[in-house]
Amino acid sequence: MKNAAVFDLVLRWNRTLAAPAATQFALPIPLGERRLVAIGWLALGLAALVGSGLFSILLVLARTPYVQQLVPVTDLFHVALVVHVDLSVLVWFVSLAGMLWTLNGGERWLPLAWMALTLAFVGTVFMCVAPFVGHGMPVMSNYVPVLDNPVFLYGLSVLGAAFALLTLRGLAVPARIGIDLHGTGALRFGLNAAAVSGAVAVLALAWSWYSIPAGFHGKAYYELLFWGPGHVIQFTWTLLMLVAWLWLATLVGARVPLSPRMAVLMFAVGLIAVFIAPLIYFSWPVIAPEHKRMLTWLMRFGGGLAILPMGLAVLAGLPCARSADASVRPLRAALVSSMALFAFGGLIGFTIQGSDVRIPAHYHGSIVGITLALMGLVYALMPRLGFGLPARRLATLQPYLYGGGQLLHIIGLMWSGGYGVQRKVAGSEQILKTPQEIAGMGLMGLGGLIAIVGGFLFLVMVFRAMARRGVEDAPA
């Protein structure tokens, strides 16, 4: 009898690990105040992309051969680069994290949610106006470049406080997963894991700030300050991307061969890597070369433990998706483009040697991969948040246009990096000597301009959909 009971238990466990015929990895969208807060975060994210797009035009022109001579690039280029990066990465990702964590969380502590959103808006406004109200030296520190003036630093600090409150509420009011695990519970676990990762990044920032010895200023100071939290927070954005991949795969009808329990296991593996960061802080001071090297290795190898199996599972399910259904084609385009760009950027990361433009090629691929996944999720959520549907044909074209332009941009950077073209420089500072270097950076400029058109198209369609208000409580 004992053997029979054990056999029955094992059989039932195996069945839970086997992917159901149609596991629904999706979240219900709440009504009421939480939806309003989520819409506020979405509005902030879209505003950040508008500002980032305006500054990116200057960036691309400043690096494009021959055209660059028409643009005053020296300080203006670096100022534009600081604001562009912080808006398109930091503010955009924080905003979409705020939207998803608000939709996923409970009804309690909503005043804290409004406070976090308000602070994020205030911080972003200060960061945007800083270049026009005072002189500030651009500091091209990794992960979070800054303008070293009081207005910008105040705005950045307020935005950081907003993110800290956002993660605090995410940890204090986590979504209930339930004992009977299903696809919705798996996505909730993934979003909760991203909130935990965000909290560890905030802890790493405080730890770095407290640990930096006196005497460090300028780039050396900000490099030490942001290196640790910058590496940790990449896990937060990656976990959000994996949630978006599974959600989009469900919406397009893909039969992902992944059970909810296995999905939770993959999210947990990605989260476990985050907890290695405090061990690195305990083991080496922030000024030690080993501290920097170990955090680099952590990001390079830790994330892949969850990304690779989950990405392969989504790819395996895509052939069964409803490709003929016009309503899901924009979501499929965003999903495919996201996975392709993220994979390409990840592979480039293993080729980096030195400090050339292969580094921005790597992080453009990874960051744009995450951005495309979040763009696809925005398309999917528009009618569920009370807005109209984006135009389907243009919404299908947009991810390919944006992703294709970024692919050309990355290939141009990768090509030029092989000839030693340095990063974070523009105009005559690039010292383009050979036709190959000029061709590579020219391809970069062409791809960047195409990507700008794709990003602009996304904003136009989303704003037009927001103008056509009409609640459509479609199932998630």
Cα 105 to chain centroid distance, Å, stands at 20
pLDDT band at 95 (very low <50, low <70, confident <90, very high): very high
Which one of 291-300, 336-345, 351-360, 438-447 scores highest in mean pLDDT? 336-345
Q: Is 213 exposed, middle or buried (0-12, 13-18, 19+ CB in 10 A)?
A: exposed
How confident is the model over 149-178, as pLDDT tens digits? 899 999 999 999 999 999 999 888 877 776
Q: What is the pLDDT of residue 354?
A: 55
As a whole number of angstroms, the distance between CA 160 and CA 281 comes to 20
- Lowest-confidence segment of 82-91, 102-111, 300-309 by average pLDDT: 300-309
Q: CB pairs under 8 A, 24+ apart, for 422-426? A: 422/355, 422/356, 422/357, 423/355, 423/356, 423/357, 423/359, 423/360, 424/78, 424/81, 424/140, 426/59, 426/62, 426/63, 426/68, 426/73, 426/77
Share of the chain above pLDDT 70, in %: 79
- The pLDDT tens digits for 282-327 are 999 999 989 888 988 887 777 677 788 888 888 888 887 666 577 7
At residue 14, the 3 state secondary structure works out as: helix
Q: Under CATH, to which class is 332-476 assigned?
A: mainly alpha
Summarised one tens digit per residue, pLDDT across range 347-359 is 776 666 655 556 6
Q: What is the DSSP string of 171-192?
A: HHSPPP--SS--HHHHHHHHHH
CA distances for 182 relative to 30, 69, 219, 298, angstroms: 19, 58, 47, 30
Q: What DSSP character marks residue 67? A: G
Estimate to the nearest angstrom the gap between the alpha carbon of 295 and the chain centroid.
19
Give phi and psi for 138, each to the nearest 5.
Answer: -70, 130
- Top pLDDT among 105 and 419 is at 105
What percent of the chain lies above the pLDDT cut of 90?
A: 37
Backbone angles phi, psi at 137, to 5 degrees: -70, 125
Kindly list the domain boundaries of the chain, sorted by start residue.
29-174, 186-321, 332-476
Average pLDDT along the chain: 81
For residue range 362-387, list pLDDT tens digits in order: 667 788 899 999 999 999 999 998 89
| 255: pLDDT strictly greater than 90 | no
pLDDT average, residue stretch 79-85: 85
Assess whether pLDDT exceeds 60 at residue 15: no
Residue 194 near residue 239, CB atoms below 8 Å: yes
Decide if 222 contacts 139 (C-beta within 8 A).
yes
Per-residue tokens: 255? 């039969």
